[in-house]
Structure 1
């Protein structure tokens, strides 16, 4: 028979109260009262002057509301609706205000404003604090100085041949499948596809994942995973914490197994983004819940993947030029390079950021272009004139094409792979944003998803994919509100690399193939963790003649 008091006593043994001799029945009665008071008292004291700011009732008292919304995978959509209802300022947690105003970007994320990242980022630490998760200003400045050179335009240009190589590999696969599809064949190479009406009908998302993962795996971990060649989501990973530690030894001997990296990466992002909004003292207990436990396992698998790849590379000297070699060359102000753990952590972060952002942005752009045939026709005309018979474009050939740039920018605006407002802590002396003063310790964020839909900037059709808007209206206002790579000293350090990849991939794909949506009226299905992920994109693909 189920005994609630016995169950409570068992739970207490996992908490700091395990050594207290307290009757469980007493705790069962008093605990709800303590919880209510712990949340109600800070609300009424209101030391961050936020009581007058509107928002969901539960969010005013507890972080549970934001934790729940984040775990459901549509945080930015929910926050966007709140801003539509309440205005520019919305309280989304007891000490977290979301500010939906383009001018706030220049204040909250500005250079020299003293704001620091919140404890949200602690949830992303795996092997070692990296550029994303480091909150200390001096540590971050040191890391960024070392890494900035690796991502300079000059070095990124040296990575382009690798990008073009994997785009070529994808084309070899798609050409073969399109030729078979034109004959009415079907197959299951990697995943099902159907030949109908002269097209290959397939979910292109897995293939784009393979492309992005192979590119960044090669550059960041010096480990070509062969996903395109094998048409399979699979990479090696060190299988235990002992193996991880052994990998840092002189012998670097460890066992590995293959894992579905894309799925693991997605699980990790969902986990970190949802547990990160909870107070740090709650996180150890939240990890005991089944959903969070799954995400914790994903964190360990991703760590093992980076360890396995970095250990293999560092124990096999090579003269190849890639992102990892440039990171190894980097030095701080004291002339010191990154240590092995730090190098592994940074490479893992680049693997995650470089694969997820490129694959989801590419797939979203593909969806929107396929859904709007007139956009595809206009884009292909511009590409044909610039590329002629070229199989895979170079960035030099396409970097000045205005309509291609507009298509990519509009895709990054509408989809907003990085959609959520990134949290910052107000420094000593407070911060004034749009006339409202926030005291020290307040957490502020500016939601990119909502900023990218501001009708005063983008027009009444702000929710619609329409590249032509980039040639109309107030271009300065649009650039000010356009925030795909964040803003300020902690903006995306891989921006040059991401821009080059998108130019090469999008131009090459639409120059070589024609796309139609399987279901032209179906909206793009997404799920948001730390990044906004596409869940599928069913298209018909045909070689252009």
Structure 2
């Protein structure tokens, strides 16, 4: 008789159990579950449903399949449907997430060859978390220092800092504005200029804005500039000799959001904002606008959330308050008509009795106008003053240039030569380089049918979003050496160290660049000149001047910390009288 080896018996028994399992309800459920998982993953990866189709897709591919599985195989769980549903959903979601993670980290993903943090490759939720810290600009800088000029920061998201890529990325074709810009626009509704993704729609609206920002319109705005700046000068005179937080004053009252807000309030809404009279933001306009900007930033990280945005806005206090503010402002402006040639006078073409816009569109541009004025010019002027105060020799050079061209403030208001002063413009450029208004820059998307495209010697597949972080680009030693993190206005004038201007994009470039560039530069030049001509500034002895940049926060727009300064109005004259390398020395009596 022959004996059977125990190992063979064990193997045959295992095979029998496997065959029994293969034809059991358990195996059928397992196979169906994974089939649905693969189908769901393929569908969302291929079509990336948005808008109204998002909810239908979630119901069809995420809710229904595990529910059907639980119902069909409930007898396997002895008729306990609740238990069947719990286990079915747990297995389904776990398998789906596993499939997604493995694919995004696999060599089969189109962006597999581009380096980046593993957690970023898995999900954009990591970027959403970084956004909540306010340190996106520093995080992006660390990533590029570690991984190089091209970094994969999301499943289908890249960061690029390469000046040669700018013409391709920021032109009208083949890339287009990413979905983040329209995420807060109601489905089927109208958006402000900055939210328009379709290039033809953008071009049509841009023509109206160009008319409102041309040289003739700018001349009409000078009266508003002069009145508000004089009002702010009077405010500083009342605080002569006191230690004040210039950053706070600029934000709440004048150059940051108050002057900017009041100027934009005058330009757009016939003086709706009168914060300079009280020096207090009693109605929280500033925090409301900042909160709305932050809401725009984090929701843009996950654009598929767009169908939920109207509901989120109802419970998000800053976003809701900002919307109500925009409605209030534009309603008052429309009811009062054109008392002066403000921004909407030109946008509505009121000089030619143009037809008023539909109310939803007017509200959208009202929101865009208010948001565009939040902490942009204010951050720039505050930053420039900080850099000047921590570089006294630079301050003296600028004051000498101003004093050699102008005898009094009135000449500055009426002069067109401010834009031609070389050192003034070098100082402003350097300030905008180190403290760009939008530190994370712009996003562009390569839609299906338009790719792939080679950018920076890298093949960019369709469906990829590309972002160029301005803060990091502006401090890249390849373009701004020597000392890219230092304030050196001479780099814009000295032929031997001139920077690569193609990498300098504080207002972006291309057909969707900042329409308010000339307005912002005019405001910066005029305000900076008048303040330096009228006042002397000294930083508080207790101020940590070396750590001020660490107070920068990136919440879509750049915000900054306190700048405690003693402001004094002296008799400022040119006294010379010392010749030193053919330069005059300026003194304050």
**Shared fold (TM-score greater than 0.5)?**
yes
Q: Which residue of 1 aligns with 2:119?
A: 58
Q: Which residue of 2 aligns with 1:119?
A: 179
Shift of 1:336: 6.5
Correspondence 1:514 to 2:539: no
Correspondence 1:362 to 2:386: no
Q: Taking CA–CA contacts closer than 8 Å with sequence separation of 6 or more, which of the two structures ends up with the larger relative contact order?
A: 1
Instruction: From the two aligned structures, give the one with the greater helix fraction.
Output: 2
Shift of 1:499: 1.1
Q: Which residue of 1 aligns with 2:555?
A: 529
Q: 2:465 aligns with which of 396, 418, 443?
A: 443
Q: Which residue of 2 aligns with 1:351?
A: 370
Contact 2:314 2:320 in 1 (8 A): no
User: Aligned equivalents of 2:474 and 2:389: distance in 1?
Assistant: 21
Q: Which residue of 2 aligns with 1:70?
A: 131
User: Aligned equivalents of 1:446 and 1:437: distance in 2?
Assistant: 16
Q: Which residue of 2 aligns with 1:502?
A: 524
> Cα–Cα, structure 1 residues 71 and 409, in superposed 2: closer, same or farther, change >3 Å?
same
Q: Which residue of 2 aligns with 1:543?
A: 569
User: Aligned equivalents of 1:204 and 1:210: distance in 2?
Assistant: 8
Q: Secondary structure at the match of 1:420?
A: coil
> Cα–Cα, structure 1 residues 532 and 316, in superposed 2: closer, same or farther, change >3 Å?
same
User: Aligned equivalents of 1:398 and 1:452: distance in 2?
Assistant: 25
Q: Which residue of 1 aligns with 2:391?
A: 372
Gaps of at least 5 residues in structure 1 are 1-14, 182-194, 235-258
Of 499-508 and 122-131, more deviation after overlay is shown by 122-131
Q: Which has the larger radius of gyration?
A: 2
Q: Which residue of 2 aligns with 1:107?
A: 168
Question: 1:334-365: per-residue Cα shift (whole Å, max 9, x none)?
Answer: x9663222122113212211242111111111
Structure-to-structure mapping, 1:40-59, within 5 angstroms:
40-44=102-106, 46-47=108-109, 49-59=110-120
> Cα–Cα, structure 1 residues 392 and 345, in superposed 2: closer, same or farther, change >3 Å?
farther
User: Aligned equivalents of 2:456 and 2:331: distance in 1?
Assistant: 50
Q: 1:213 aligns with which of 261, 269, 278?
A: 261
Structure-to-structure mapping, 1:75-154, within 5 angstroms:
75-111=136-172, 113-125=173-185, 128-154=190-216
Question: 1:358-405: per-residue Cα shift (whole Å, max 9, x none)?
Answer: 111111111111121111121112112222122683252422111111
User: Aligned equivalents of 1:488 and 1:229: distance in 2?
Assistant: 39
User: Aligned equivalents of 2:260 and 2:466: distance in 1?
Assistant: 32
Question: 1:312-342: per-residue Cα shift (whole Å, max 9, x none)?
Answer: 12112234111110011089xxx96632221
Contact 2:349 2:355 in 1 (8 A): no
> Cα–Cα, structure 1 residues 262 and 281, in superposed 2: closer, same or farther, change >3 Å?
closer
Question: 1:430-472: per-residue Cα shift (whole Å, max 9, x none)?
Answer: 2211221212221112221111112122113000111111112
User: Aligned equivalents of 2:478 and 2:461: distance in 1?
Assistant: 29
Contact 1:210 1:232 in 2 (8 A): no
Shift of 1:201: 6.3
> Cα–Cα, structure 1 residues 384 and 148, in superposed 2: closer, same or farther, change >3 Å?
same
Shift of 1:287: 7.8
Gaps of at least 5 residues in structure 2 are 1-57, 72-80, 572-589
When the two structures are superposed, what TM-score results if normalisation uses the length of structure 2?
A: 0.76
Q: Secondary structure at the match of 1:53?
A: coil
Shift of 1:132: 1.0
